[in-house]
Structure 1
Amino acid sequence: MTVKEVTTILEELAPLGHAEDFDNVGLLVGDAGAKVTGILVTLDTLENVVDEAIANDCNLIVSFHPIIFGGLKKITGATYVERVVTKAIRHGIAIYSMHTALDNVPEGVNGKICEVLGLTDTRILIPKQGALKKLVTYVPLESEKELKTALFAAGAGSIGQYSDCSFSTEGTGSYKAGAKANPTKGEIGRIHYEKEVQVNVVFPKVREAKVVRALLEAHPYEEVAYEIYTTNNTDRHIGMGMIGSLKEPANEIDFLKTVKRKMNAPVVRHSPLLGKPVEKVAVLGGSGAFAIEAAKAAGADVFISADIKYHEFYKAENKMLIADIGHYETEQFTKNLLVDYLTKKIPNFAIRLSESKTNPIKYL
């Protein structure tokens, strides 16, 4: 199995197109065509993680956080990033990062937090905008079914739990073939009128190349007329954070103690208690202060995240409890999630959960 084959499997879980624009995801170091001897899954790729990969004959590191975030202008070993990249290259180790691509899928980082906390009826907290596109094309009546079948197989026409969704209207198309054309119907130099169907389908942005390829391969015309639009619709199945409900309402203090225990958090920083039961809980792994307003608007009683600054706790405004349990703590189960996923997809393959400690924050 090659690095590319493994990363293709990972992208079935978290397509890279779902990542935020500022992020740096995908294969960051290494040869996509290299044969994989073993996979080491980690939250961060540090020097001790690369050493662990070397010791266990793993030449592919699957990391949640990207080791290369900004541009590298030189690699001299002066920083921990440069040392990691140098050591990985020297030992033929590839490094692949998922980061916000995994943040934005319901089976990812935030879904895992919900699972650990036992939340039910979960949904995306901040649905992603610009993730849905629409294809409009025109096809002869007799070719409509065949074309739709190809588009559906490529991932078009899926809306939530529904597939093969489309809308068609009949009309008359016209064209005149030029001297060098090879028209499917009509004659060169003469205007031709054809009974056609206008086919409309939506598709995820990450499927665009595949959908267009299917369109061009299945369409009977030499030149295919089509338009693709980015919609303003939000995709409620993709996005940042999640919100769900407790099976039974809980006392605030009891709930915070439960969060601390289940999430292995040494400390929980929180806004003032409100003296009301906790029923709805919003979560966002990593730095999540940007989602405070969304959590309030969604009616969350508690918002669990990390890296909340002093003045950002004021945004609770006595309407919601904000709990900061630590960046590493919110994302710590991500590597377990990935090991479980890869083990199911690639049984009988060397997949290891990293034992290296990468949390840079210590508590006294």
Structure 2
Amino acid sequence: MTVREITRHLEELAPLLYAEDFDNVGLLVGDPDQQVSGILVTLDTLENVVDEAIDKKLNLIVSFHPIIFTGLKKLTGKTYVERVVMKALANKIAIYSMHTALDNSIIGVNAKICEVLGVFSPKILIPKAQTIKKLTTYVPKKNADELKESLFQAGAGTIGNYSNCSFSSDGTGSFMAGENSNPTLGEIGKTHFEEETQINVTFDSAKEIDVLNALFKNHPYEEVAYEVITLDNTNQNIGMGMVGEIEKEMDETEFFSMLKEKMNASVIRHSQLLGKKVKKVAVLGGSGAFAIPIAKQKGADVLITADIKYHEFYEAEGKIVICDIGHYETEQFTKNLLVDFLTEKIPNFAIALSESITNPIKYF
């Protein structure tokens, strides 16, 4: 398989359009048409990870964090980033990063944290804006059902747990074919009136290319009249963080013990304990201080995240317990998630979980 073919599978899990604007995701190093001998999955791509890929004869590294985050102006080997890129290029190793695209996936980073902690029926904590689009098109009545079915097959018309969702209305369309046209209906130079159906379907923005390809391929007209607009509706299936409940409520200290054990956390930095039971749990892998107001609003008893600054702990305001367990600790199981996903998609292929520990933070 080529790098391109493998990354298409990864983009089913986390379309690159899900990534935040500041991020740098996708293929960062290498040739998309290179044949892949095997895949090494890691949280961070460091020099020792590239060495591991070389030793194991694996030439595609799938990394959560991007090794290239800001622009590179030169490659001299002066920084660890430059050395990683140079070594990867010298050994024809491709590097692909997922980062916030996977953060925003409903089956991504935060779903894995919920799985590890036993948080059931989790929902997106902060739905991502402007990820729902609507297509409106017009088609002869006799072709409407066939066209709708092709749009459904391409991914349009899915709303939450419902599929094949659309709205149609009938009316009369008019057009006059020009001299160089090849009209399906009507005659050149004459205004034609046709009983048509207006079809409206919504779709995930990541499906836009597939939906439009289905429209153009299956619409009978030479020129297709259509509109695509971005909606302000919140998308409950894409976004940062998750919130749900644990099976049995716990005392705060009991919950902390469980949290440290299951997340392999050496220490928990936390806001003031409230002397309340813990039942509703919010999680956000990586730096998650921005989620504090939403977690409070949604009634979470605790928020598990990382990189909380001194003054940000005050934002708990006696309404929630903020737990900072470490950046690496919140994201460590992402590697397992990716290995499991790739193994299911491309069985009997060399896929390895990196043995390198890339956490830069040590505890005394």
What letter corresponds to residue 100 of structure 1 in structure 2? T
Q: How many residues of Structure 1 are paired with residues of Structure 2 in the alignment? A: 364
| 1:200 corresponds to | 200
| 2:174 corresponds to | 174
Give 1:187 deviation, angstroms. Answer: 1.2
Give 1:179 deviation, angstroms. Answer: 1.1
The runs of 5 or more residues in structure 1 that have no matched partner are none
| 2:284 corresponds to | 284
Query: Sequence identity of aligned pairs in percent?
Result: 68
Q: Secondary structure at the match of 1:193?
A: strand
| 2:53 corresponds to | 53
What letter corresponds to residue 193 of structure 2 in structure 1? Y
The runs of 5 or more residues in structure 2 that have no matched partner are none
Give 1:264 deviation, angstroms. Answer: 0.6
Q: TM-score, normalised by structure 1?
A: 0.99
Give 1:176 deviation, angstroms. Answer: 1.0
Q: Deviations over 1:182-201 (max 9, x none)?
A: 11111111111110000000
1:122-271 → structure 2 map (5 Å cutoff): 122-271=122-271
Distance 1:77 1:89 in 2: 12
| 2:107 corresponds to | 107
Task: Spell out structure 1 runs of 4+ moving beyond 4 A.
Answer: none
Give 1:121 deviation, angstroms. Answer: 2.1
1:346-361 → structure 2 map (5 Å cutoff): 346-361=346-361
What letter corresponds to residue 137 of structure 1 in structure 2? T
| 2:343 corresponds to | 343
Distance 1:71 1:152 in 2: 40
Q: Secondary structure at the match of 1:304?
A: strand
Distance 1:209 1:112 in 2: 29
Distance 1:176 1:338 in 2: 54
Q: Deviations over 1:255-296 (max 9, x none)?
A: 111111111111100000001101100000000001000000
Q: Secondary structure at the match of 1:322?
A: strand
Q: Secondary structure at the match of 1:220?
A: coil
1:61-72 → structure 2 map (5 Å cutoff): 61-72=61-72
Q: Secondary structure at the match of 2:54?
A: helix
Q: TM-score, normalised by structure 2?
A: 0.99
Q: Deviations over 1:166-220 (max 9, x none)?
A: 1000000011111111111111111111100000000110111111111111111
Distance 1:185 1:38 in 2: 53
1:37-48 → structure 2 map (5 Å cutoff): 37-48=37-48
Distance 2:64 2:197 in 1: 46
Q: Secondary structure at the match of 2:164?
A: coil
Distance 2:318 2:309 in 1: 17
Deviates more, 1:69-78 or 1:273-282: 69-78
Distance 1:172 1:208 in 2: 27
Give 1:22 deviation, angstroms. Answer: 1.2
Distance 2:169 2:157 in 1: 16
Deviates more, 1:117-126 or 1:196-205: 117-126
Deviates more, 1:210-219 or 1:322-331: 210-219
